Amino acid sequence: MRSQHKNSGIILFMLLTIFIFFSAFFLQQCSLVKKAKPSIGFASNYYPAPISGEQLISHSAIKISYNSEYKQANWVCYKLDSLYAGENKRKNRFYADPYILKNAVRPDDYKNSGYDRGHLAPAGDFTWSEKAMTESFYMSNSKSCFTCTVKLG
């Protein structure tokens, strides 16, 4: 009788040890996934061909070809990945893009025009970073002909 009790104690101890080991391993893996930050970088083969007179603007998560003659983007390019999900909220405030060298479009340019400001690269795709969210509200990311989204995975 004592032998059976001793064996069941050993089995219980081994099962508990295995459970703790796998639980610790699983929690460590979850922690690593949560800490992983998306790497933002652009591959030049995703860009459209250069356009005469364009100004290429690189922000933290978005690349813009700005046309100063028409005061709008020729195209906007950014990466979209499920890792980029986050909790940063929309600010709903547009800003002039500080990187534009000449003839920058400003929020007041739309005042009483009958047009609404809109995103080419939607603000909802930049919830993973407060900086990227703010940059999505630059006027250089509004009203254009072409948007390029590179979807990964």
Which residues are identified as catalytic? 119
Cα(79)–Cα(88) distance, rounded to whole angstroms?
17
From the number of C-beta atoms within 10 Å of its C-beta (0-12, 13-18, 19+), residue 71 rates as middle
What's the CA angle centered on 100, arms 98 and 104, to 5 degrees? Answer: 95
Cα(143)–Cα(124) distance, rounded to whole angstroms?
17
Residue 73's SS3 state is strand
